[in-house]
Amino acid sequence: MTQDYLLAANRAFYEAFNRRDLVAMDGLWARDHPVACIHPGWTPLADRIAVMGSWREILSNPASPLIRHRDERVLLYGDVAAVLCLEVIGQSVLAATNLFVREGGGWRLAHHQASPVATATQEDAEQRPPKRRLH
Q: What gap in Å lies between CA 4 and CA 132, rounded to an integer?
A: 43
The angle at the Cα of 92, spanning 39 to 44, to the nearest 5 degrees, equals 10
Torsion from C-alpha of 47, 24, 71, 104, nearest 10 degrees: 70
- The per-residue pLDDT for range 89-110, each reduced to its tens digit, is 988 999 999 999 999 999 999 9
Task: Write the DSSP string, 14-50.
Answer: HHHHHHT-HHHHHHHB-SSS--EEE-TTSPPB-SHHH
Q: What gap in Å lies between CA 101 and CA 3, rounded to an integer?
A: 13
CATH architecture of 2-117: Roll (3.10)
- The per-residue pLDDT for range 12-49, each reduced to its tens digit, is 999 999 999 999 999 999 999 999 999 999 999 999 99
Q: Mean pLDDT throughout 74-92? A: 96
Q: What letter does residue 118 receive in the DSSP assignment?
A: S
Confidence band (pLDDT; 50, 70, 90) for 125? very low
Position 10 pLDDT exceeds 90 = yes
Q: What gap in Å lies between CA 73 and CA 126, rounded to an integer?
A: 22
CB 86 within 8 A of CB 70: yes
Confidence band (pLDDT; 50, 70, 90) for 115? very high
